[in-house]
Amino acid sequence: MDLPSSQPNSSEPSPLPERFAGLQTIVERESLLLAPYAMRSRDSVGRKHSEPQHPYRGPFQRDRDRILHSAAYRRLSGKTQVFTGAMGDYHRTRLTHTQEVASIARTVSRALRLNEDLTETLALFHDIGHPPFGHAGEDALNECLADDGGFSHNRHALMIAEELETPYQGFRGLNLSDEVLQGQASRADKTGAAQSLLEVQVVDAADSVTYAAHDTDDAVALGILTLDQLTEVLLIRELLERVRQRLAGLNDEMLRKALVHELIDWQVSDVLRQSGALLARAAPRSAQDARQYDFAIGPSPRLTQQKEELGAFLYERVYRHPRVLAVRREAQQRLHAMFTGYLKRPEHLPQKFHERAEQVGLRRSIGEYLAGMTDRFCSREYQRCFSNEPGG
Ligand code: MG
């Protein structure tokens, strides 16, 4: 892990990096590869606490590494995406979802000649604030904190990056580049007047591509849905037809795999066709210029409509499936019981969150502690501390 200077001072400009003989600098690399409308490392606003530049890693590469080495990132491996560990071991976790988003976002970013390092960083960061048990957990925490500003995983990601991760002496947080923090802030508050950087938009588009494909895959693999039921959706019918034209005689399992492959490829190709044409027409002269246009990186109007149909179908038939709802109810009851339990018995909180309570109040501190837990740790702490409490 790279350590910042011991005495950060945001008013000092970053000194130029030491040059390693024979190595290409990030500025040289980006000037060769990136489109005019890509975000360039040398144009970064920088970090809250100024640091010397790194000799061979650009600022967004360093941001990526800081996220990758954070505890919050590792904990994504134990957090629910849609289906919990109790339902099987095939499906995505929050971590593998994040990796799939990063992979697809990098593909899109590279093809559009955007800044792949920034895109990857934003993708690895985008779900880092998710609490245990997916959106069930998020909704429960939002209810617990309703009188204290609520809870949103997108906002919580910023809290993690700016306060809760403490790898450095001298200041709190990961000291990420402004573009990474602003990109995540725009996810938390979509009402901002200005468009986000194109790299931020790529991650939003990649997130949507990713979950449309993997939720379909997981739901069929776990037996929540059949391929036959999925053919109620026009997009799925069209893609299955394309698969069958190319590959004959597939059994159901191979058909599901081919469909998921097609679902990703079809969506990514559509996003690239649509966005590539818009960018070519508008020809923004810089990353900031691109923010003035009211187009967004995303699918064509036709695919947008088809994805809405798929999304509504998945909502009704997967996210509202009795097996998923049962797990959801249990997770929500548990989080509510733990929130009330820690309020009554704060002695169960670790020291770090007692200190945090002095800054943000006990309720918010409990919310942050619960949000950081993996599913497994949450269940274990519930059993350990509160399972014998009345109503627990
Ligand atoms: Mg996501």
The residue type of 181 is L
pLDDT at 11 over 80: no
Band (226; pLDDT cuts 50, 70, 90): very high
Q: What is the pLDDT of residues 120-159, one digit of tens each?
A: 999 999 999 999 999 999 999 999 999 999 999 999 999 9
Q: CB within 8 A of 145, min separation 6: which ones?
A: 151, 363, 364, 367
Question: Which has the higher per-residue pLDDT, 288 or 84?
Answer: 288
- C-alpha 61 to ligand 1 mean position (Å): 20
Question: Which has the higher per-residue pLDDT, 128 or 10?
Answer: 128
- C-alpha 342 to ligand 1 mean position (Å): 29
Q: What SS3 class is residue 5?
A: coil
- C-alpha 97 to ligand 1 mean position (Å): 7
Q: What SS3 class is residue 114?
A: coil
Average pLDDT for 153-178? 96
pLDDT of residue 74: 98
- Which of 19-23, 255-259, 273-277 bottoms out in mean pLDDT, i.e. has the lowest? 19-23
- C-alpha 168 to ligand 1 mean position (Å): 28
- Which of 91-105, 187-201, 231-245, 366-380 bottoms out in mean pLDDT, i.e. has the lowest? 187-201
pLDDT of residue 17: 65
pLDDT of residue 3: 47
Helix axes 252-282, 94-111, angle to 10 degrees: 40
Q: What is the pLDDT of residues 22-65, one digit of tens each?
A: 888 999 999 999 999 999 999 999 999 999 989 899 999 999 99
Q: CB within 8 A of 346, min separation 6: which ones?
A: 354, 357, 362, 366
- C-alpha 211 to ligand 1 mean position (Å): 7
- C-alpha 376 to ligand 1 mean position (Å): 20
For the record, the structure tokens of 303 come out as 């695919």
Distances (CA, A) of 169 to 4, 20, 50, 174: 9, 27, 14, 11
Q: What is the pLDDT of residues 341-371, one digit of tens each?
A: 999 999 999 999 999 999 999 999 999 999 9
DSSP code per residue over 260-325: HHHHHHHHHHHHHHHHHHHHHHH--SSHHHHTTS---SS--HHHHHHHHHHHHHHIIIIIT-HHHH
Average pLDDT for 70-76? 98
Residue 303 CA, distance from chain mean position: 22
- C-alpha 104 to ligand 1 mean position (Å): 12
Distances (CA, A) of 250 to 145, 227, 242, 247, 254: 50, 13, 13, 7, 6
- C-alpha 392 to ligand 1 mean position (Å): 31
Average pLDDT for 288-310? 94
- C-alpha 124 to ligand 1 mean position (Å): 9
* Burial class of residue 3 (count of CB atoms within 10 Å of its CB; 0-12, 13-18, 19+): exposed
Domains and CATH numbers, the chain: 58-281+295-385 (1.10.3210.10)
- C-alpha 313 to ligand 1 mean position (Å): 19
